[in-house]
Amino acid sequence: MHLAILSRNANLYSTRRLIEAAEQQGHSVRVVDTLRCYMNVTTSKPSIHYRGEELENFDAIIPRIGASVTFYGTAVLRQFEMMGVYTLNESVAITRSRDKLRSLQLLSRKGIGLPITGFAHSPDDIPDLIRMVGGAPLVIKLLEGTQGIGVVLAETEKAAESVIQAFMGLKANIMVQEYIEEAGGADIRCFVIGDKVVAAMKRQASPGEFRSNLHRGGSAELIKITPQERATATRAAKAMGLNVCGVDLLRSNHGPVVMEVNSSPGLEGIEAATGKDIAGQIIEYIARHAGPNKNRTRGRG
């Protein structure tokens, strides 16, 4: 197969591992800078050009689209879908997962466990919003935040009111969630490929920190997950429509709850913690499922 990886940086660990895995399995692979793609949107023959040439003859696209370029990146991906090229994760699914509020609403509709989450627009509603999620301590999240940026733990109701008012004053979209204290600053990253959890790791926040993101200094270790946690992760991936994703869970007193579904999960942490060849499994999945016009939405999202 001839594969393309949509990535801004060919030297990133995840991109390099996917290149290595593809070449080891006998495929040719090319890294394409998402923002250097430009499109001819036409009825007869939609096309994508890149640095002066027309891109064609790819059998599959592996999107590694950063959160900051979601709009343009999914537009490029949608164009490939219109051209009949198989995409590992489809544009609609990526857009769905990047909208934190929409993704939680979709998961809620499927009956998947979630932390109690509130969303409001008016400062007048802040006191009731805080009561709605069970009071302080609570977590306040920017809807556009990634890697733990824009996530605040408010330990008192006064602090929560002040932070929410500040964000609202900046016209920032935020959501408020109950704080799962029993998780002890740890979460579980389940790596899903197709309909299976192929690897799982526990991420533990550093001392004095409640965010367990590895980018925030958290540590990771191999963990054995329960059947309920496995089922929650695969159901969450299916609800988003993602073939490959990272599902972040917390262990709460009322069972596993989903914090986020990540459509471009990093490979470094999970491969280091589990010792598994995740990149190789992704390429194997593509080899089994890729083909012309195999996308469900075919660019109609």
- Give residue 174's domain range: 117-179
Q: Are residues 102 and 247 in the same domain?
A: yes
**Backbone phi, psi, residue 164, to 5°:** -60, -45
* Last residue of one domain, picked from the residues 128, 156, 179: 179
Q: Tell me how far apart the alpha carbons of residues 276 and 281 are, in angstroms, rounded to a whole number.
A: 9
Q: Under a CB-based contact definition with an 8 Å cutoff, are residues 264 and 66 in contact?
A: yes
- The rounded percent of the chain whose pLDDT value lies above 70 is 93
**Among 72, 60, 100, residue whose Cα is nearest residue 8:** 72
* Residues 21-34: tens digit of each pLDDT: 999 999 999 999 99
Q: Which residues have a Cβ under 8 Å from the Cβ of 227 and sit 6 or more positions away?
A: none
- CATH number, domain with residue 76: 3.40.50.20
* Residues 89-115: tens digit of each pLDDT: 999 999 999 998 999 999 999 999 999
Q: Are residues 7 and 147 in the same domain?
A: no
State the DSSP code for 224: P
Q: Are residues 149 and 130 in the same domain?
A: yes
Q: Are residues 248 and 160 in the same domain?
A: no
Beta strand pairing call for 47-50 and 53-55: antiparallel
Q: Are residues 160 and 230 in the same domain?
A: no
Q: Are residues 22 and 102 in the same domain?
A: no
Q: Are residues 102 and 73 in the same domain?
A: no
- Output the CA torsion sign for 281, 285, 288, 290: negative
Amino acid found at 276: K
Q: Which residues have a Cβ under 8 Å from the Cβ of 170 and sit 6 or more positions away?
A: none
Q: Tell me how far apart the alpha carbons of residues 226 and 198 are, in angstroms, rounded to a whole number.
A: 13
State the DSSP code for 32: E
Amino acid found at 143: L
Residue 146 has pLDDT above 80, yes or no: no
Alpha helices in the chain (DSSP H): 13-24, 70-82, 91-98, 100-109, 126-132, 157-169, 227-240, 268-274, 278-289
> What pLDDT score does 204 carry?
84
Residue 78 in tokens: 């949608």
Domain assignment present for residue 295? The answer is no
**Among 201, 297, 292, 203, residue whose Cα is nearest residue 243:** 297
On the question of a cis peptide bond just before residue 137, with omega within 30 degrees of 0, the verdict is yes
* Residues 208-232: tens digit of each pLDDT: 555 655 555 567 889 999 999 999 9
Burial of 102 (0-12, 13-18, 19+ CB in 10 A): middle
* Residues 37-86: tens digit of each pLDDT: 999 998 788 999 999 999 988 999 999 999 889 999 999 999 999 999 99
Q: How many independent structural domains does the chain possess? A: 3
Q: Under a CB-based contact definition with an 8 Å cutoff, are residues 258 and 247 in contact?
A: yes
* Residues 166-212: tens digit of each pLDDT: 988 888 888 899 999 888 888 999 999 999 999 999 988 766 555 65
Q: Are residues 167 and 267 in the same domain?
A: no
Amino acid found at 300: R
> What pLDDT score does 205 carry?
76
Q: Are residues 201 and 106 in the same domain?
A: yes
- CATH number, domain with residue 222: 3.30.470.20
